[in-house]
Amino acid sequence: FKQKTAYEIYQCDWSSDVCSSDLMLAYHAKIQANSRLSQYQNVLQVSQTSLEIARAVGDPEMSAYANMMIGTSYRQRGNYLKALQYLSVALKTAKTIGDKTREAVTLNNLANVYYSLGDFGKALPYFHEDLFLARKTRKTLMELRTLANIGNVHMAEGRHEKANQSYNEVLGLSRLHGYRGRESRALSNIASVLQKGGNSERALEYWMKALRIAQETKDRAREGFVLMRLGLLQRDLEKDLDFYDYLSRALKIGKETDNAQLIWQTEAGLGEMFALQGNRKRAIQHYANAISLYDSVRTSLDIESLTVSFLEERHEPYPAIVQLLAEQDEYEAAFVYGEKYKAKNLLDIL
């Protein structure tokens, strides 16, 4: 009889006579289900088992897919060194077997690792290569995703007009093809541009539209991100009473989905908002939580050039917690954080 590999089912290609264990189909389904729910720890565990099975039965397609999902899971959890290792293997395998779709997806994930590390110069070429393959293979969803990522790079480097052009292109195409998840992301990105330009009230409209779609489509990762940004927006809108509701909900989602980036952004945001309210004790607690997570992620990198770039985007809690501790006459604790900050040559605060 004829059995199909998980990859063949995924690609809807019934032309091959390759035989593989039915168990691989079940693992592929489990990876997809957990990924849709943003359960990255579960994705990691199932993908690791799937990789072992793929190696045992000699299925390079599933091996490439499992390596990619393991790398993606490590990226979401903040372990960027391991993410690079697994994604590099996935990319090499995809190129070897001539799988342009898997190659494009892996290129995008590699670019996102470098983007998360703040190395935009390395991220952008991967995104452009990914976009070329997405258009060549006529994969609209992949094209939308990559256009948005290129917009993110422009945004991070201060080219707001170019970023806005990319985001609006994504929004139009998403609505044209009925891709609501991509519409939510495009609305979020446009909201960020508006917020950067000081148009907070209009940004709020876009954030709320993005949140509704994320909740309707059950996109937990997007919902958590939008809630975090809505919490921080309350500062600009001078609505301090609303910030905790949004940020605490975002933090809950971050912990449930094991999303390191969402957790540290939310912890730092809570620290900032409590500091503005004069609640030093709670501000220190949240800043300390954020710094602890930064340090654990930084240690896992073990790549000094990337570590510095990574921390340059995430150093704000250090001087903030030093100042708060000093104001409470906790000079020894303040000194420890100050020395930790100086050690990375980011800013001399003493």
Q: Is the dihedral of CA 232, 233, 238, 242 positive or negative?
A: negative
Lowest-pLDDT choice from 19-23, 114-118, 225-229: 19-23
Q: Is 268:290 a contact under the CB 8 Å cutoff?
A: yes
Of 50, 37, 29, 102, the residue nearest 76 (C-alpha): 37
* Nearest-angstrom CA–CA distance, 292 and 236: 27
Task: Tell me the mean pLDDT in the region 232-254.
Answer: 86
pLDDT band at 349 (very low <50, low <70, confident <90, very high): very low
pLDDT at 293: 84
The set of residues, in sequence order, having a beta carbon less than 8 Å from that of 33 and lying 6+ positions away, is none
Look-up: residue for tokens 């954080």? Answer: 337
Task: Tell me the mean pLDDT in the region 2-6.
Answer: 42
Tell me the C-alpha to C-alpha distance, in Å, between residue 214 and each of 59, 180, 181, 211, 348.
35, 8, 7, 5, 41
pLDDT at 311: 43
The set of residues, in sequence order, having a beta carbon less than 8 Å from that of 119 and lying 6+ positions away, is 306, 309
pLDDT at 297: 65
Q: Is 166:147 a contact under the CB 8 Å cutoff?
A: yes
pLDDT at 53: 82
Can you list the positions of beta strands (E) in 149-260? none
Burial class of residue 299 in the structure, from the number of CB atoms within 10 Å of its CB (0-12 exposed, 13-18 middle, 19+ buried): exposed
The set of residues, in sequence order, having a beta carbon less than 8 Å from that of 46 and lying 6+ positions away, is 27, 30, 31, 34
pLDDT 10s digits, 167-209: 999 999 999 999 999 999 999 999 999 999 999 999 999 999 9
pLDDT at 307: 40
pTM attached to this predicted model: 0.68
* Nearest-angstrom CA–CA distance, 155 and 169: 15
